[in-house]
Amino acid sequence: MLLRYLFILLVIIPTKAFALIEVDITRGNLNPLPVAVSPLSIDDKSKENFKKILKKEDLGSEISIVVENNLRQSGLFNPLNKDAFLQEPDVANLKPRFEDWNLIKAQALVTGKVTFVDEKLRVEFRLWDVLAGKEMMALAFTTVPSNWRRVGHIITDKVYERLTGEKGYFDTRIIYVSEEGPKTRRIKKLAIMDQDGFNNKYLTLGNELVLTPRFSPTNQMVTYLSYFRNLPRVYLLDIETGMQEVVGDFPGMTFAPRFSPDGKKIIMSFAKDGNSDIYTMDLENRIVERITNHPSIDTSPSYSPDGKRITFNSDRSGYQQIYVMDSNGKNVKRISFGNGLYGTPVWSPRGDLIAFTKLHKGKFYIGVMRTDGTGARLLTENFYQEAPSWSPNGRVLIFYRETKTNSKGEGFTAKLWSIDLTGYNEKMVETETDASDPSWSSLLGN
Amino acid sequence: MNLSKILKNAFLIILASLVLTACATKKTSTTGQMQGDTYTGTDTVKELAKGVPDRVFFATNETVLTTASRETLRKQAGWLRKNSDINVILEGHADERGTREYNLALGERRANSAKDYLMTYGISSDRISVLSYGKERPVDSGSSPLAWSKNRRSVTVKAN
């Protein structure tokens, strides 16, 4: 929905690819890069106008705070305290005095300017290499003023991409299940928020149990499980219109839905007579195809990004383990062989890894392995956690964690957490209520 | 062999946990309420009619009916034969120690295991529907083996 009226004018002023600074994201964030994010400069008239529309005292400063928080949360950057900045925002944006920024140990500098033009928000920003004394990038956007947070996210994506060489994941949203009430009678609603927790919205009222929402590749649709009329079925929800429809006409429970990478199919499990198998339904012609046919539980399917293969979990070996097969169900191969149980496999958007949940000796782990099952690494251990979802650049995983209750059965919480693929930078993602089943969108504007 | 080693370890773990819980709560020994890790107590059990318990319990990751479960289901079948106008929903549940989606499938399998048994005692499948809640509706909010054993269940509920 935001997509439609995010009207971005990109003016790319080419600068020479000359970077001394580069952030290596393949290792842990032991030395986050010191970055100075200058408040974006803003003239008095624009300031007045934005104050009227958005109730923000200084929009230039507000946008820079969005960028700063994003960079800090990534764990790869260390945004410096603004109190130490010596140069005024407007002067810095024209030509930074690199000695001043060098003095406070900034290696990269972000500057910019915010103006109110024809009822629109115009933002230009520049990224500077302080040590080399060069401009690395300059961009300008024009959009509706209400999109100001997204502008901050897009700037972060550009900075991240320029400095790490990989796409960012900041102009994205998370869909999840909001949870309230006692553990025995949880009230669950679908909710959606920006990646940094802002602009939270509830998409259902909590009248029926809802589980496992997942975005379509274009982020306009969500597929999820609803217990509407006590019939657990896979549904589709159009986020823009709020229209909901049941997926297919199955004589029993359908669950564990995900979109195919082209967005044309839903893959899910259908349970009948004590057996769960994997099916797909084509959203255009409504043709249902059976993908697995085995008396064991086959569920949690996830496509490879090229759509040619599917990973899923099955207990056909006697215990829950992870398998990979062709998209037509042929060539089923088990890929998890470690001790314990393995579930919830999700194919990385880069195609090279599968993230999973492992249960071993009463502990739950989130881990990743190559698609042939080799190179398994466990990233985090806890009392209970599961259901990883990848950031669109395949660098970060978001999942949910539940706490152990005390001897009286009190103290239950469910929260979203994220962790870097390296196993570093594990942190809780703040939500208004308890939360579970997160699903990360793709980049919104691109 | 490997299997006997696993079984031996599992037995030791169960034994250890029983000893530990026994130490932790001296008054209410869980040994009287669990056999293996299947719940055998009655505190969450309601009655569909006098002498007809409404639920059966399962071991971790299991869908096999125990001797006690089969006895409960035979009583339910008898009651259903006498009350041919009553239809039932079998609600299958799992404990919180499994992934959400797998547990939905497991709950469905448990409820069907109870349904199959009722059918072998002459109850028509038309009268029985099955609904899995996975781990979404525990009866005991505890995080202990005893609480989990109460939550691994299939509950027979009147549909009309």
| Mean pLDDT split into 10-residue runs, chain A, 446 residues | 40 44 62 95 96 95 97 96 92 91 95 96 96 95 96 97 96 98 97 97 96 97 97 96 94 97 98 97 97 98 98 97 98 96 98 97 97 96 97 97 94 97 94 98 85
Quick one: which H or E segment has residue A60? helix A59-74
Q: What is the 3 state secondary structure string of A206-267?
A: CCCCEEEEEECCCCCEEEEEECHHHCCEEEEEECCCCCEEECCCCCCCEEEEEECCCCCEEE
Looking at residue A409, the DSSP 8-state letter turns out to be S
pTM comes to 0.90
Residue of A332, A298, A331 lying closest to A314 (CA atoms): A298
Tell whether A284 is within 8 A of chain B (Cβ): no
Residue A311's identity, in one-letter code, is: T
Backbone angles phi, psi at B73, to 5 degrees: -70, -35
- Considering the domain architecture, whether residues B19 and B51 belong to the same structural domain is answered as no
Number of domains in chain B: 2
What is the per-residue pLDDT across B61-71, written as a single tens digit (0 to 9) for each?
Answer: 999 999 999 99
Domain CATH for B40: 3.30.1330.60
pLDDT score recorded for residue A8: 43
Residue of A38, A12, A34 lying closest to A112 (CA atoms): A38
- Considering the domain architecture, whether residues B19 and B92 belong to the same structural domain is answered as no
Dihedral (CA of A70, A73, A74, A76) sign: positive
Domain extent at residue B7 = 1-29
- Considering the domain architecture, whether residues B45 and B3 belong to the same structural domain is answered as no
Residue located via tokens 């208004």: A432
pLDDT score recorded for residue A1: 39
- Considering the domain architecture, whether residues B125 and B61 belong to the same structural domain is answered as yes
Beta partners for A268? A279
Residue of B nearest to A272 (CA): B108
- Tokens in use for B139? 């009866």
- Considering the domain architecture, whether residues B57 and B112 belong to the same structural domain is answered as yes
pLDDT at B21 over 50: no
| Residues A328 and A308 sit within 8 Å (Cβ to Cβ) | no
User: Quick check: A256 and B97 CB within 8 A?
Assistant: no
Domains of chain A: residue spans and CATH: 2-23+32-164 (3.40.50.10070)
- Considering the domain architecture, whether residues B22 and B59 belong to the same structural domain is answered as no
Residue of A409, A385, A382 lying closest to A398 (CA atoms): A385
- Considering the domain architecture, whether residues B47 and B114 belong to the same structural domain is answered as yes
Residue of B nearest to A385 (CA): B99
- Considering the domain architecture, whether residues B37 and B3 belong to the same structural domain is answered as no
- Cα A51 to its chain centre, rounded Å, is 31
- Give the three-state DSSP class for A174: strand
- Considering the domain architecture, whether residues B112 and B141 belong to the same structural domain is answered as yes
- Average pLDDT of B71-79? 98
Looking at residue B26, the DSSP 8-state letter turns out to be S
A/B interface, count of CB pairs below 8 Å:
105
User: Within the 107-146 window of chain B, which residues sit less than 8 Å (CB to CB) from chain A?
Assistant: 108-109, 111-113, 116, 130-132, 136-144
- Considering the domain architecture, whether residues B77 and B145 belong to the same structural domain is answered as yes
- Considering the domain architecture, whether residues B72 and B22 belong to the same structural domain is answered as no
| Residues A211 and B136 sit within 8 Å (Cβ to Cβ) | yes
Beta partners for A125? A112, A139
- Considering the domain architecture, whether residues B56 and B125 belong to the same structural domain is answered as yes
- Tokens in use for A437? 């089943």
pLDDT score recorded for residue B77: 98
Instruction: Among B101, B104, B131, select the one facing A230 at the smallest CB separation.
Output: B131
